[in-house]
Structure 1
């Protein structure tokens, strides 16, 4: 055996999902794509899909091997109202995690969350 047939039940440190890094990726992409954008309900479905795909691709390229990624994007009109969001997950706290970031301008708000769940 050359070691390639072994199974990992925990990711190596360099491949572990790192929320701080993922948050920076989210922030970079969202600010790049939403700066100066005005809320338009007709464009929101395509915009959310585009943001989710860009974030997913960027996080995948970071080398978090064997992680299932779920990207959630919420965009709403900014009217000065408060918005509360929550999530609940059943996962392995040693390997799984999430990262999120919020973007707001005078027209819209955007919340992006990335969940990383290690596949054993």
Structure 2
């Protein structure tokens, strides 16, 4: 042969390539618990977006990456699943900062109306 074959870098080559393009290529890497079954998450997350590992029937682990923490925040939030940040802690801090900025942009929440004290329906003008 023209070259000496070497052993494969992993048993699951598809997962190896997916991890290479979705996490290793980026400066910022994250491990996230998604509150969704792995099969459901896989319908919204491509192998280029991250590697999904089932945790149980209702949760899965997502390993993903981006060039900046803000891109990770947007990407994770727009997936549409509840989630928990496992690492890095800086990502959780960045999410808190963005949450606070969004809260300021929305202004104070209206006070809740007491039960049974709903406003009367509007009457047509006479």
- TM-score, scaled to structure 2: 0.22
Query: Would you tell me which structure has more strand in proportion to its own residues?
Result: 1
Q: Which is higher, the Rg of structure 1 or of structure 2?
A: 2
Larger relative contact order (Cα-Cα within 8 Å, sequence gap ≥ 6): 1
Higher helix share: 2
